[in-house]
Structure 1
Amino acid sequence: MRFGGIYPSTVLPMRADFSPDWDAYAAHTAHCVMRPGIAGVLINGHAGENYVITAAEKRRAVEVTVATVGERLIVAGVNAESSAEAAQEARDARDAGAHAVMIFLPNSFAMTHTTAMSVLHHRAIADAVPGMPLFLFQAHHGAGRMGFTPDTLAALLEIPAVVGIKEGGWEVDAYDALRRMTKHLRPDVAVCASGDEHLLACMVHGSDGSLVSLADILPDEIVALDAAIRANDLLAARALHERLEPLAEAIYGAPPGGRATARIKWCLRELGIIPNACVRPPQPPVEPSDAAALRVALRASGL
């Protein structure tokens, strides 16, 4: 599968005034992407704060990424409440050099979400960029009605441009049900296990890759985990899981939810990979108690 494999989902480093630090972004992207076993990169995803950055900043992120990662595949997130605006973001990503776009549902879908709404939104984007490969995004189980029902998923898989699914539902049983259904209806579509806290469990069920922000910090270990599962080396996979899990739990599992990007940026700054851990409001910076827990987790994960 062209779009299988491991893709770090990068953050967008910012300065103290919340403006993007493009030099730091390029360095961070090169650090986690330009490694053996990394297939490409997901940019402008949730880790990249796609819900608070501008359309111009999203396009610039694609341009900087193209200049940084060479031949590796670039999947650019598209996130807008308006289907027309989302379609324009997709055009911008294509024109700037992205190889595929990942469609994030409008946040308003958390309140009400029908199959017709999903199909209309995704087809509007597909029609705007004919021939552009599309990734679907399965939302977190706590995101209200945003997750795809089986009927909605089946309808979306009828769109020929769909090449992959980032499964971010964060429930192993639901992941496997989606994987089985997709492989029955569209065996050509890459189903990518992307719940950072339970990569091992999902990969054991079966996965064509992962698009995860934990790979910003531990890219080699996630590549090795994927390889161990494919080689049926469960002992090696479990050992890697024990290394990954402390940090995954501290970043994604510790309450309150929705703080992953701030925590990832804090870890990257702590490791000297980016100079500043700023996140754009309304997200606040990492609290001292949270920082202490992250520091412990970094040590437990061998960092």
Structure 2
Amino acid sequence: MIPQGPTRFHGIYPSTVLPMHGDFSADWDAYARHTAHCVLRPGIAGVLMNGHAGENFVLSRAEKKRAVEVAVATVGATRIVVAGVNAESSIEAAEEAREAREAGADAIMVFLPNGFALAQTTEMALLHHDTIRRAVSGMPIFLFAAHHGAGRMAFTPETFEALLDIEEVVGVKEGSWEVDRYDALRRICKAKRPDVAFCASGDEHLLACMVHGSDGSLVSLADVMPDEIVALDHAVREGDLARARALHEKLEPLAEAIYGAPPAGRATARLKWCLAEMGVIPNASLRPPQPPVSPPEAAMLRAAMKASGSGPPGPRDGV
């Protein structure tokens, strides 16, 4: 459900995982419980599902559509459901977007094809997004600004500014993971499209991004610590930097363990392990080629959870 008003897409969106059984099939009941646990809370605007944390690159189109249906049934009556769209082919991505709309998603987030890491031009990015836009004309679109280490997948300022010409763009998940780059893109966005919700998503440095200026956040760390991220956002908006700093100190050990500790690319495995440890999901299964959390990783995560004060699931509204 999209609320009314000029800031209707602002706010905090957990980026959910997709729990799986031991045979790697989707556990839809656990997915509904996990989504409700982190989204049906005060201060949460919506959910980003079928994102990187949701293993969108190893799901079938049918699974992605079913994931949208479950998310909409679970939280769609009161929260915004943003569905990730990720395919190497622009035509396939357009079909994903159509199916997400059919399943009830309020908005889509367009992920760039992994092949763009080898070569990307502004014309390619515009064609990819426009192919998807035309398939779901009028549907709100979030842009995803990729990690600065993702090679040519990361938007140049020129490409980003050109994409802001797309009328359907309502938000940006800024995932470059570099604060100076974050602020540079934020300035471009606010100069050209002040109506667009520019949202931080660097889990290890949310405080720095929020102090620069942010309209919200789409982050998978909110799967594990949603209340703290809502509180951090509120403290920065209120100008209470002492409170914001204290919340940052609480969030940082777990953020570094999940996202910052080598090897890179292990966030989903570690998120699932933490959620299973908390009792939010039944187990930490994830699809190959990602292996499960190793014993040293588990020890690191357990220590980080203790340092951050992560515990069993707390109360939530509406469930």
- Normalising by structure 2, report the TM-score: 0.95
Q: Which residue number corresponds to residue 187 of structure 1? A: 194
Q: Does 2:72 match 1:66?
A: yes
> What's the CA shift string for 1:167-202, capped at 9, x where partnerless?
000000000000001100111111000000000000
Q: Which residue number corresponds to residue 247 of structure 2? A: 240
The 5-angstrom pairing of residues 198-209 of structure 1 reads: 198-209=205-216
Q: Could you say what the CA RMSD is over the residues aligned between the two structures, in angstroms?
A: 0.5
Q: Which residue number corresponds to residue 158 of structure 1? A: 165
Deviation, structure 1 residue 276: 1.0
The 5-angstrom pairing of residues 1-303 of structure 1 reads: 1-69=7-75, 70-303=77-310
Tell me the amino acid that sits aligned with residue 168 of structure 2: A
Tell me the amino acid that sits aligned with residue 87 of structure 1: A
Deviation, structure 1 residue 158: 0.5
> What's the CA shift string for 1:109-166, capped at 9, x where partnerless?
0000100000000000000001100000000111111011011011101110000100
Deviation, structure 1 residue 71: 1.9
Q: After the TM superposition, list the runs of 4 or more consecutive aligned residues in structure 1 that deviate by more than 4 angstroms.
A: none
C-alpha separation between the residues in 2 aligned to 1:67 and 1:177?
Answer: 38
> What's the CA shift string for 1:237-292, capped at 9, x where partnerless?
00000000000000000000000000000000001110010110111100100000
C-alpha separation between the residues in 2 aligned to 1:244 and 1:172?
Answer: 17
Deviation, structure 1 residue 94: 0.5
- Matched position secondary structure for 1:51: helix
Deviation, structure 1 residue 79: 0.1
Task: Give percent identity, aligned residues only.
Answer: 74
Tell me the amino acid that sits aligned with residue 103 of structure 1: V
C-alpha separation between the residues in 2 aligned to 1:10 and 1:262?
Answer: 12
Tell me the amino acid that sits aligned with residue 65 of structure 1: A
Unaligned residue ranges in structure 1 (runs of 5+): none
- Normalising by structure 1, report the TM-score: 1.00
